[in-house]
Structure 1
């Protein structure tokens, strides 16, 4: 399947300019659907809206298909970004495995889907920028520059309105300064677990038996929690709060099925509006799969979990117990070793940092940073395909772990625990692992969380750990 309906005469035109700094919420609500939000501790925050083009793929070749489509798209580019942070990018993600999006709530999510936004707002160290993109056989630089003028006028006015409201002490709908001023949480009317506690115990015990018999070293089993909401989930408020409350994580929001996507010629219609949003995949993941810039690669091993203490002393005690725990240490070592093995064919050198504790609001993890120098020019999606799934979300050996996951979990993983991120024209990019996440569609939310199972895992303890991992999203829903 051709991933991108680009004719020989089609071209990509992109222009960017610095704008007056609007609030996060004002920028989010001003752009059309489908929308994306991307954030990272060491990167600029990006809000994208509309679809100048989309790439879609399925099956075992989905990573290569998206890579080839991205290369074709960017090869036609006439780009003037003004600053590197404002460069045009594709944003999207992949399914955990083939056919993982067949069931609810994933039916509007392809096995691979990337959007090239029509408008991209980037909050960078050197100011806030708006990028306007267009793709098609009749696209001209003059048209794009006219649209850029209009976008600059719109966002400058929003920035001025925010400052005026702040000067008068009124609420400018600015979640940046105080995210708790965002709209109330929607409230949960009812909850439904796809896995009962008894079913969970049976599944974990069966997995442990396989491990002790030598069929597996480790497998990650997940649960899904469906929630009916009292009101529509306020997506802007939710992702705004997540990005502030988890500054060491990677917040993301991806809408895939809204109006305004391209037709067969790669030309978007004009019906995408902020009110036309469909389903969205939202999360604040602590786990980076890979980040690549030139020939420098960074990734993380994140496995082994405990809770947070109610006092600093209890917090330190829990961290010390986690660091010394044999079960969690073994689980973590498996992940480190597997990542190094998966990267080794691409690299001239690999360096593993010291194991440390990564503290989040609800949990603490064992964390080991890993860096590498590539031996040759590589596209980030080659590394994504090689690394996914890491043992932190899949297991070892991978094929046996996937078989166990499919046999045990009574739901489709979809994009949960799968790569989510961005690609630029140079083949650079950053991808995270889509955990601490949920799918939203108006008044329905489906949350996902998983744990690593090894030989001495206890089903009840693993059940409790999953409940902790639901908290980042549940906190945004419960009133």
Structure 2
């Protein structure tokens, strides 16, 4: 894929123009608290990004949505003029994600109005902070794009200079909860899935639950993101408000894929237990997880499947050691996976190849997805699906939308799931799901 056009491009020949400047400070809250939609927030490692407003939007649906988005994004970046002096950290990116399933869910009411099968946008305003380096990027389209981008840049440089970060407010509180399924319904669903494994129809299937909560006060998702960033600094924190509808947000521990050049990084994250009340109990639980036959089996299914999905693209695939991934409320088995590609590949090609991993879907994939559709009485929407960013070179990073919720001002729907294999216990799996609600639930209660 060709990089963005540089200073030598004639503006009259291009419809998208970006301009940028360095910032002394980068109060990302100022970008997220505006009324303009869409809005996006992303934080991982030492990088955080806030984006708002759409210079261009790409949407797609159905089985071909990954390829359709890739083609549209590539065409968009090929028609974009960016100053050569703008460093890679500040160059425009397209932000967005995908629904878990190819088509819409036929169940009851859905909180996912406004979220199509796939949606990406090139933002008007993008603030990027990496380490201590902060940049503002403005993007505009049309015949006057260069002048409009310069005007946006001047407006937001002044606007950000006058803005100071504030402490996040308290959680809104919860007045009512509604679970789908009930505990008895969950036992029936898990037992049916285990029967499918015993018959040989499935090796594993990930069943999810939803928890709808009514809020006592208006929800500020930027406040939630600020608090999540303190509690889960090692997770991928994300927030997306599409052009209409609610806001999808979360703090997920799981990276789907990261592509830089010909190097691909991903991971297997499957098998869970709680955290201990003391360091000794914490270590005991971790050791028990590492030795658990059920969890090791579930984890191996995921790691082997990811390796098999990458091998058609890669000259080498390296599997790391199985380790413990500790979060505030839960511990997971984790294995890092790195691949070197045979040829250049767009990150969205790898996203399509890997989604859904057995960590959120199951094996065999078609049978697992069919079981999920037939079993779950709610719309997964974008839960457990790819969300992230892509740049003009086809590089990018996508996380799996776990530990997440979709919300409006006074209502939120949380999602969490558990992997079901032959020796799963319905009550233990129920308890695991409740632990996975905690990252978001703690920020709402």
Tell me the TM-score normalised to structure 2 length. 0.94
CA contact (8 A) 2:251 2:404 kept: yes
Q: Residue by residue, what CA displacement relative to the aligned partner does 1:226-285 show, whole Å, maximum 9, x if unpaired?
A: 001011111111011112211111000000134xxxxxxxxxxxxxxxxxxx41000000
Partner in structure 2 of residue 68 of structure 1: 71
Task: Between 321-330 and 127-136, report the one with greater CA deviation.
Answer: 127-136
Q: Distance in 1 between matches of 2:332 and 2:412?
A: 26
Q: Does 1:29 align with 2:15?
A: no
Count how many residue pairs are aligned between Structure 1 and Structure 2: 431
1:23 CA displacement: 3.1
Partner in structure 1 of residue 90 of structure 2: 86
Unaligned stretches of 5+ residues in structure 1: 1-7, 163-171, 174-180, 259-277
1:145 CA displacement: 1.7
Partner in structure 1 of residue 350 of structure 2: 383
1:126 CA displacement: 4.4
Q: Does 1:445 align with 2:417?
A: no
Candidates 123, 130, 133, aligned match of 2:136: 130
Q: Does 1:95 align with 2:88?
A: no
CA contact (8 A) 1:292 1:428 kept: yes
* Aligned 1:226-237 pairs, distance under 5 A: 226-237=212-223
* Aligned 1:173-212 pairs, distance under 5 A: 173=166, 181-212=167-198
1:66 CA displacement: 0.2
Q: Does 1:106 align with 2:112?
A: yes
CA contact (8 A) 1:257 1:279 kept: no
Three-state SS of the structure 2 residue aligned to 1:106 is: coil
Q: Does 1:351 align with 2:318?
A: yes
Q: Distance in 1 between matches of 2:385 and 2:145?
A: 37
State the Cα RMSD in Å: 1.5
CA contact (8 A) 1:297 1:374 kept: yes
Partner in structure 1 of residue 58 of structure 2: 55
Candidates 269, 285, 294, aligned match of 1:327: 294
Three-state SS of the structure 1 residue aligned to 2:101 is: coil
Partner in structure 1 of residue 3 of structure 2: none
Three-state SS of the structure 2 residue aligned to 1:241 is: helix
1:27 CA displacement: 4.1
Unaligned stretches of 5+ residues in structure 2: 1-11
Q: Distance in 2 between matches of 1:407 and 1:143?
A: 50
Partner in structure 1 of residue 121 of structure 2: 115
1:69 CA displacement: 0.4
* Aligned 1:242-321 pairs, distance under 5 A: 242-258=228-244, 278-321=245-288
Candidates 128, 146, 154, aligned match of 2:151: 146
Q: Distance in 2 between matches of 1:256 and 1:250?
A: 19
Q: Distance in 2 between matches of 1:382 and 1:147?
A: 33
Q: Residue by residue, what CA displacement relative to the aligned partner does 1:156-191 show, whole Å, maximum 9, x if unpaired?
A: 222xxx3xxxxxxxxx51xxxxxxx41111110100
CA contact (8 A) 1:101 1:415 kept: no
Q: Distance in 1 between matches of 2:186 and 2:283?
A: 31
1:128 CA displacement: 1.3
Q: Distance in 2 between matches of 1:91 and 1:400?
A: 31
CA contact (8 A) 2:31 2:51 kept: no
1:31 CA displacement: 7.1
